[in-house]
Structure 1
């Protein structure tokens, strides 16, 4: 499916160019997020984490995602990842580094994603010229990402360029994903939305399942209820937990500002090549979305594609 990236406005106007870049940022996120998510849900990755000695899903999750940062303390990871209770992180880190170093985790991550992508997409697809083209375009876009103040993006961008197209594509997309995520956290902070408030608003907007977010991020129901009460006091939530018009406006503003802050890679790549990358990623994203690998709960709130019930 060809990605339609257009925006009304006078040709050559700065505002039109910015609006097009913002639209590109969202179109590409909707396509690279599912591919990136293989690192959390593909069985090949779970087996690799177990082989390293990681004890359970969450230790593997935090080690695999935080490895580019090095063996930083749990407080740093809690800050970067934003929505997790500190106790969830502290149960995994720094213990994970006693089983494998960050360098060992990064190597295992590449191997596991190569196996996962080959298994899901097929050897003919990952060995094709089109797949290699997607990997190179993603890597170029990621290299152009502005990482000042974006710790996770900077750490991923600093990794060496992988030779294998599978690893190169996944790592490029992951840098772009963390680039957008770092921007999203900055927007939430600027809007005065703490970790729990941000998740309550996401759930109220119908983008994610609230119970899933609360339980997987290890927040107590009292924390969730208190965040809801604060949002109601601010006029952002109705008594039934749905968004007020003001809440919907704040939620839309968060997404608009996030898109704007994520535009640099796509401005650098240009409209034609960005659209080409979207087209190349589209069937890959669809295969992930319909694979059954993604769990219910939709923690990232993707609205495109087919997701499990409650996702």
Structure 2
């Protein structure tokens, strides 16, 4: 589909998916499981569809985190909880967060249920060959509650896109730190926030910048060269192309209907005030001001 539907849909579903990272209900759910600190909760809740995966697998799947960051959370998290309990807790947290942010009437509305069913159909149609996180999420049971069903479907679609993005980066020879440098250099996300949250040392970041300069991708002052701009455009275009299968299966008209149904939900989440500054995921459309 040459109309940019894959990117347009990502811009709409990413903020709704991100409830699990930034909503206080998610943090309370992780605390209720006995998980210690934000990052142990983050890795356990996101990795739970994989089973009791260890740090090597999760570092590989998540790609941009320093192994030390992951190793401080896993496998210790599985001594406090189980993947099954983590999955149940994240669904409960998302249901509570969606009800609060969207309002109970919207969260239980026919329109949200329609969006959930369309998103579930798209997620079920996604080609998960070679996409480990997407496949693990796609294999989960269909939730009965519409808000949870919508969130889980959007999460499958999000991880499907993310898995494809990682494959593109690997194919282009862009390693985990280089991927963060590229994102920061183009202005999508804040450099210091990316480096610190992913726990890369300044020296490791500087080494990645040096490698990118040697490839002719980065100027001495940290801006992208023309070759760097081209690489970034190729990465994004290939990521979009790799994310098209769910929307091809759903069809243009029904994909457009889902986009329209998601728009007010996305706006409500974006203006909720829960997102930290720094645009960690690099969304490119203008976001409305928080309430």
Q: 1:38, 1:270 → 2: CA distance?
A: 27
Secondary structure in 1 matching 2:220: coil
Matching residue of 1:240: 221
Is 1:19 equivalent to 2:30 in the alignment? no
Q: 1:109, 1:212 → 2: CA distance?
A: 25
Aligned pairs, number: 290
Is 1:212 equivalent to 2:212 in the alignment? no
Query: Aligned Cα RMSD in Å?
Result: 1.0
> How far has the Cα of 1:308 moved from its partner?
7.3
1:275 to 256, 260, 283: 256
Q: 1:301, 1:72 → 2: CA distance?
A: 27
Q: 1:36, 1:180 → 2: CA distance?
A: 13
Contact 2:267 2:288 in 1 (8 A): no
2:233 to 237, 244, 252: 252
Is 1:291 equivalent to 2:272 in the alignment? yes
Provide structure 1 residue ranges, at least 5 long, that are not aligned to the other structure.
1-17
Contact 2:19 2:94 in 1 (8 A): yes
> How far has the Cα of 1:305 moved from its partner?
3.3
Q: 1:232, 1:285 → 2: CA distance?
A: 38
Matching residue of 1:203: 184
**Greater than 6 Å deviation, 4+ residue runs:** none
2:90 to 109, 113, 132: 109
Q: 2:289, 2:31 → 1: CA distance?
A: 26
Q: 1:102, 1:305 → 2: CA distance?
A: 36
Secondary structure in 1 matching 2:39: helix
Q: 1:308, 1:151 → 2: CA distance?
A: 35
Contact 2:178 2:209 in 1 (8 A): yes
Matching residue of 1:64: 45
Is 1:160 equivalent to 2:141 in the alignment? yes
Secondary structure in 1 matching 2:280: coil
> Could you state the TM-score of these two structures normalised by the residue count of structure 1?
0.92
Q: 2:282, 2:289 → 1: CA distance?
A: 12
Is 1:302 equivalent to 2:261 in the alignment? no
> How far has the Cα of 1:55 moved from its partner?
0.2
Q: 1:83, 1:128 → 2: CA distance?
A: 37
Q: For residues 160 and 168 of structure 1, do their structure 2 counterparts lie closer, same or farther at Cα, with a shift above 3 Å needed?
A: same
Q: 1:210, 1:308 → 2: CA distance?
A: 22
Secondary structure in 2 matching 1:215: helix
> How far has the Cα of 1:291 moved from its partner?
1.1
Provide structure 2 residue ranges, at least 5 long, that are not aligned to the other structure.
none
Q: Where do 1:52-91 residues align within 5 Å? A: 52-91=33-72
Matching residue of 1:12: none
Q: 1:25, 1:137 → 2: CA distance?
A: 15
Is 1:96 equivalent to 2:77 in the alignment? yes
